[in-house]
Chain A
C-alpha cells in the first residue's frame, strides 16, 4: 500500500504510481550495459517513494551515463560534459522543493568535472549523485579515464595506461564537509537499490560510486569481483547497508563498519587488495549550503521596493538640494 495517506485514500488507485510512470524513452545503451541496472534502481526508488514525476529532476553531463535522464519520465537536464554538478546546485538552490539527482560517468566527474566534484562535496547540498564508473570513456570509444587501471590498453594508451588509477572514494572522503560516500556495483541490484535509497534519505550531498561494466570496452574489468565474491568487502552496519540472508550466504567477506567512523572509512577506501561495497561514511549533521544561505526574507515585490528605495536614499542626492546650495561660499 505505498503512497497511502489520509488525503488520497479514496483515490489510491489513480494516484498510485507504478514503475511505468517513471519510464521515459526506451534506453539506447548497448545490450549488457551496466547503466540499465542503475536506471531500474532509480525508477524503483521513485516508485517506492511515490515521488511526483514533475518534482524530480535528473541532471547529467555528457557521456553514456549522461543519457540517463532521457530514460526517466521526470524532468531531465542533459547538459554539458563535466558540468552536471554546478547545474544541479543551481536547480536545487532556486527550487529546494525539487528532488534533484545527478548522473555522471567517471570522465564526467573525475576528469573534466573534478573542480565541481570537490566543491559540490564541500557545499553539501541535498543531491543524490550516481557516478557510473566503468573505468573508460565509452561514448568517445575507448580512451583512458582517470579510473582506468594502470597498464590497461586503450586507444589513447596503446602501450598500457601510464598512471595508477585515481581512487574516487579517498578523494571524496578527503574533502571538507563530506557527508555521504558509498560504493556499490550494478550487478548487485539489491545492494544498489538499498544504497541509492539511503542516499535519497540522506540530509546532504550523497556521493555513490557505482562500479559498472561497459560491454564493449571494459566487459571483464570487474570479472574477478564477479567470479570471486570474496574480493568484495561487504560493509554492514545497522546504520549502514544490511545484507539479506541470500546475499550474506554468497558474500562472506564482511566488515561491521559504522558509517560515522570517517577514519576507518578512509582506511577501507585506501585498500587496493579488496573492493568495499556499502556505505563508507555518513554524517547527517553537516550544514547544507541551501540552508545556510537560505534567505531570511521573502521574495515579494513589496520587499524589493523597500530595498530599492532605501538604496536610492543611500545613493540619493538633492533631497537637501536647496539648503545645500544656498550656503555656497560666494
Chain B
C-alpha cells in the first residue's frame, strides 16, 4: 500500500495539477468535541512549521467538555495561519475550512471567522442521515453556503474512512490531515512520522489504521480536488521550538530557577501547571494544587518568604481572590511572581476566551497603596523570558511581579528561536549566612527603598514579618510618620526599577498622524495592521509596552510627535456612537486610562470584548476610517 501510494504521489507531481502560489493561508478544522480536529490541526501545524513555514495556530475550544453534538457552540478545532513571512498573529478570515458537520462549521460563519467565498470542505454524511431533521439542517446550511458562493466541496469522509476502520468518527481527523498534506504539497512521510510519534509509545495498535486513513485522505483529495496551494518556506533555518504560551510559561518557570508553583485550577491558566507538573519534580520543584486560589497564593508566599521566589498561576477571577495576599507580598516585601492568564470578564465571564481586562485590577486592585510591578508578554517567546525576568525583579526588588498573559497566548502556538540556556537565569542559592549585628530586616535605602531580605535559617536575622504598618526594624508601629515612611520606601523601589527600563521602541516612523499604543498579545496584529496601512502611505506608527507599571520613560516624547494617539486593546471601552456617551462619562480601555492619567495626552482608544484575538484586518479598517 505504502509503496503504491508513493508512486501515486509521484504521478500527481508529474501530472502537475498546478498549485497556486501564495504568501499565506488560513486553515480552520472544525469538529464536534472529541472528534479530533484539534489533534489534526496541531499535527498539520507542526508539519507546516517543520517544512519551513512560519505558523501560528490557535485552538478553538468550546466551554464544555462534551457539549451537545452538532451545535455551533460545541465547535472544537484549530485555526492555522501559515505564511512565507514571520506570522505573529491568528490573522483575518479563513481561506480554507474543513467541517466535520455543518452546524459546528456554520458557527464560524456567524462569528465572521471565514473569508467570503472561501473554500469549504464539508463532511457529506449528514445529507443521507436517517433522521430527516438532520438532513434538513444539513441542506439548509449547504443552501446558504452555495447561495453566498462559498467554494463548497462535499466530502464523504465517513464513507471513505469506514473502508479502513470500524469507528470512522474516531479516524476522520487523520483523513483530514491526509487531504491537507495533498492540498499543501507536503511529504506524506512527515505525517506518518507524526502518527508514529503520537501513538507508538502508548497505543501502538493505532499506528497502522491511522496511517491508512491518512493515505486515504491524501488519495481522495488527489482524485477529487481541483486546487492545490504552495506556501513557500519563510526562510527560517535556525533551530526553533514550537509551544503555546502556557507551555512557554512552564518552561520559563523551570528556567527561572523557581522551585515552588502553587495554583488552583482555572481556565485558561491551568494547562501551564499541567505541563509543569510533568517536568518540575525532575528539577526538585513541586506544583502544589491548593484547596483554593487564596491558599495557593498564601502557599507561594510562605515558600518565597522561606527561600527562593515562588510563583502562583491564575486567571482574572483567581487574581481577584488573591488580592489581599498580593498586598501582603508588597507590604511585607516578599518576592512573588503571579501569572494571570487573562480571560473574558467580569465575574466568570468568558472562561475560554481572550480579554485584556485585568490591567487596572492588577495595578490598582489592592486596597491601600500597594505598588507592584506589572508586565505583559506580547508573544509566546515572551511568555518564556518574562517569567525569568519576573523572578529576578521580584527577588531584587523584594516585591510582587504580575505577569499578564492571556488566552490568546495561552492557546496559540508559534515557533520561536530555541532559547540558548544561560547561567544568568539561575536563582541564587538561599542565603543562610549570619546577619550582621544591628542590621534590621527592612533597612530601606533612602534613595531606592531597597533593603536586604532576611531568610529563616539566617542566624541573627530573627524578626517577625508583618502586614501591619511597620518601621525599618520590622516593628509594628502606628505612628503617623511610620506608615508614611513605609509606603514611601516601597514606592521608591518602583521608581528605582523604572530607572532601569529602556524607552519603548517605535514601529514605523518617529512621527506622524496616528500612534497606536498596545500591550500584551495584540502586538502582532497591531504591527501587521500598521504595516499594511503604511504601504498605502498612511502616517501611522505603533509602540508596544512590556512594562505597564512602572512605565518606561520616553513614552510622552514619542506620543507628542503624533497628531493623534490611541490604544488598541481587547477590553471594554465606551463608544461615542452611544447616545449618552460624551467626554464627561466615557469609560476608556485599560491602557488608555493609564496613559491619559499619567501623560495628560488626549489618548483615544479602540477596544472590544468579543472574546477573540484582535484581527489585523479589523485594526486596519479602523485606522483607515479614523484617518479619513
Contacts and interface: CB of A to CB of B under 8 A. Distances in A.
Interface of A: 24-25, 52-55, 57-59, 69-70, 72-80, 83, 86-95, 97-98, 115-116, 118-119, 293, 295-301, 303-309, 311-312, 315-321, 324-325, 327-330
Given A94-B259, A94-B306, A95-B457, A315 B295 contact: no
Given A93-B288, A119-B295, A329-B186, A76 B465 contact: yes
B291 A115 contact: yes
Nearest to A301: B426
Contacts of A309: 421
A94 B475 CA distance: 26
A88 to B, nearest CB: 6
Nearest to B420: A312
7 contacts: A73-B462, A295-B284, A301-B257, A308-B421, A316-B241, A320-B50, A329-B13
Interface in B288-328: 288, 290-292, 294-296, 298-308, 310, 324-325, 328
Tier of interface size on chain B: 35 or more
Contact of A305 (B290, B303, B421, B430): B421
Given A98-B456, A116-B291, A321 B237 contact: yes
Contacts of A94: 259-260, 302-303, 306-308, 310
B162 interface: no
A295 B456 contact: no
Contact of B465 (A78, A86, A90, A320): A78
Contacts of B304: 90
Given A94-B308, A329-B187, A319 B299 contact: no
B468 A95 contact: no
Give the residue among A73, A75, A295, A307 with the most B Cβ atoms within 10 A: A75
A97 B457 contact: yes
B282 interface: yes
A306 B284 CA distance: 13
A325 B52 contact: yes
Give the residue among A90, A306, A316, A324 with the most B Cβ atoms within 10 A: A90
B274 to A, nearest CB: 14
Interface in B212-247: 230, 233, 236-243, 247
Nearest to B251: A311
A119 B289 CA distance: 11
B458 A312 contact: no
Contacts of B295: 83, 86, 115-116, 119
Contacts of B475: 25
B510 interface: no
A72 B462 CA distance: 9
Contacts of A93: 260, 286, 288, 299, 303
A153 B20 CA distance: 85
B240 A316 contact: yes
Interface string B165-206: 000000000000000000001110110000000000000000
Give the residue among A70, A92, A94, A327 with the most B Cβ atoms within 10 A: A94
B476 interface: yes
B237 A330 contact: no
The 10 closest A-B CB pairs, nearest first, are A90-B302, A299-B284, A76-B464, A327-B187, A86-B298, A87-B302, A90-B303, A86-B295, A90-B299, A119-B291
A28 to B, nearest CB: 9
A281 to B, nearest CB: 22
A115 B290 CA distance: 10
Nearest to B236: A318
Interface string B12-26: 110000010000000
B68 interface: no
B284 A329 contact: no
A57 B251 contact: no
B187 A318 contact: no
B282 A297 contact: yes
Contact of B305 (A91, A119, A299): A91
A75 B435 CA distance: 13
B363 interface: no
A297 B464 contact: no
B298 A90 contact: yes
A4 to B, nearest CB: 21
A318 to B, nearest CB: 5
A293 B241 CA distance: 30
B187 A90 contact: no
Nearest to B239: A318
Given A86-B298, A90-B262, A328 B187 contact: yes
Given A75-B464, A90-B310, A116-B295, A307 B49 contact: no
Contacts of A115: 291-292, 295
Contact of A308 (B185, B237, B251): B251
Given A90-B299, A328-B51, A80 B421 contact: no
Nearest to A305: B421
A113 to B, nearest CB: 9
B228 to A, nearest CB: 9
Interface in B429-482: 430, 454, 456-468, 475-476
Contacts of B230: 330
B9 interface: yes
A59 B421 CA distance: 38
Contacts of B241: 312, 315-317
B286 A295 contact: yes
Contacts of B282: 295, 297, 303, 306-307
A303 B254 CA distance: 10
Give the residue among A76, A87, A297, A316 with the most B Cβ atoms within 10 A: A87
Nearest to B302: A90
A296 B292 CA distance: 27
Contacts of B460: 54
Contacts of A55: 456-457
Contact of A78 (B303, B457, B466): B466
A324 B255 contact: no
A70 B463 CA distance: 8
Given A298-B284, A329-B13, A86 B299 contact: yes
Given A25-B475, A317-B49, A324-B187, A57 B456 contact: yes
Contacts of A88: 302
Nearest to B10: A329
Contacts of A74: 462
Contact of A311 (B50, B239, B279, B467): B279
Given A80-B325, A115-B292, A89 B299 contact: yes
A75 B441 CA distance: 11
Given A57-B456, A308-B255, A324-B51, A91 B302 contact: yes
B419 interface: yes
B190 A324 contact: yes
B463 A75 contact: yes
Contacts of A329: 9, 12-13, 185-187
B415 interface: yes
B46 interface: yes
A87 B303 CA distance: 7
Given A54-B462, A77-B464, A87-B299, A324 B50 contact: yes
Given A83-B295, A307-B282, A319-B239, A54 B459 contact: yes
Nearest to A58: B464
Contacts of B290: 86, 119
Contacts of B13: 329-330
